[in-house]
Amino acid sequence: MTDAAALPRTMVITGATGWLGQNLVRAVAPERERVRCLVRTPEEAALLAVVGTSVDPVIGDVRDPDALDRLLDGAADATVVHTAAVIHPTTGTRELFDVNVGGTQLVVDRVRRRGAGRLIHVSSNSPFGANPGPDHRFTEDSPRHPYMGYGRSKAEAEDIVLAAHERGHLEAVVLRPPWFYGPYQPERQTRWLRAVRRNRFPMVGDGSNRRSMVFTGNLVHAVLRAEQVQAAAGRAYWIADGPPPTMLEVIDTVRAALDAEGFAPAGGPRPRFPRAVGDVAERVDGFLQARGRYSQVLHVLGELKDTIACDTTRAEIELGYQPATTLLDGMRASIRWCVDRGIAL
């Protein structure tokens, strides 16, 4: 295990203006000499530059080798946290593979060439699909059943990272977070909070299916533990808040958080769809994706019926991972972040 004083003075972050990226930049900027951040536009660079003097944005795309060379220039021995990924593509399913697979391959290649330090690759639950039942939990030894294009792209990205580690090209750790939530959330998460508050978010099935979730602050903690623990090299870890709640419990907790922050949720009967609606959405989603097309609504609806739950025992034992924020407190933090920025709920 590494002493904090011995941590690399530089951290490099891809996807730095993403959901996890923004939380990570703000957590490490006060403690590092330099935080080199890959961003896509001058506006994103300005957004991060105000965080602190240690933040050093580099404008470019994770699919551009020249941009990655600039990002890693002078970053020998730095920790590289690869968070850049596309979850919901806007130009078709090819974008998933161009960014999630092609971008990861380029990051691995450039990290190897530049002699950077440990690579922490942020993966997903999607390479594993859905649990066979609400009492099942994924572990690091569970077989993979990638869910749709995103799951396949993230599975391929994991393979690239771990193969490079096995060949001795670099030192890598893979983290597998499920659905996460917290400050700096994208608009789709805000729309979800609004729908829950207005009692318009449908329950697909009876709500007994379970969903592991992770607060962004807990995930940042896991990233830092993965950086520090020497024995984590070459390992993969599930990262979540703790025991997975049912979907009914998730919705009830969000409504309680909204109420606690002064946003009384609407009453009335909760909208419900039979599980068959989710089954149909999944089949149509698969049909469209096989033809290169993507519908975010269908993709999300197709997953809402499923249990997607993991066991974080390995991370707790090997990384010393200790999630400090509960679902209720994390959702309240998300709501306060919206309020502070004048975002209507």
pLDDT digit string, tens, across residues 97-120:
999 999 999 999 999 999 889 999
- For each of the domains in the chain, give its residue range(s) and CATH number, in order of start: 4-185+213-243+309-324 (3.40.50.720)
Which pLDDT belongs to residue 3?
Answer: 44
Please work out, in degrees rounded to the nearest 5, the angle formed at the alpha carbon of residue 121 by the alpha carbons of 118 and 125: 150
Per-residue pLDDT tens digits for 178-227: 999 999 999 999 999 999 999 999 999 999 999 999 999 999 999 999 99
- pLDDT at res. 196: 97
- pTM of this prediction exceeds 0.85: yes
Would the pLDDT of 149 be above 50?
A: yes
Express as a percent the part of the chain with pLDDT over 90.
Answer: 96
Q: What is the pLDDT of residue 285?
A: 98
Rounded to 5 degrees, φ, ψ at 62 are: -65, -15
Q: Is the pLDDT of residue 39 over 80?
A: yes
- Averaged over 317-321, what is the pLDDT? 98
- Cα 123 to chain centroid, rounded: 7
* 23 phi and psi angles, rounded to 5 deg: -65, -40
Beta strand extents in 93-221 (DSSP E only) = 119-122, 172-176, 179-181, 203-204, 213-215
Single-letter amino acid, residue 192:
W
Tokens standing for residue 172:
């890598």
H or E element that contains 281: helix 275-289
For the segment 134-151, the average pLDDT, to the nearest whole number, is 97
CA angle 68, 100, 247 (to 5 degrees): 135
β-bridge partners, 10 = 34
Average pLDDT over residues 281-301: 97
Among residues 112, 19, 109, 11, which one has the least CA distance to residue 64? 109
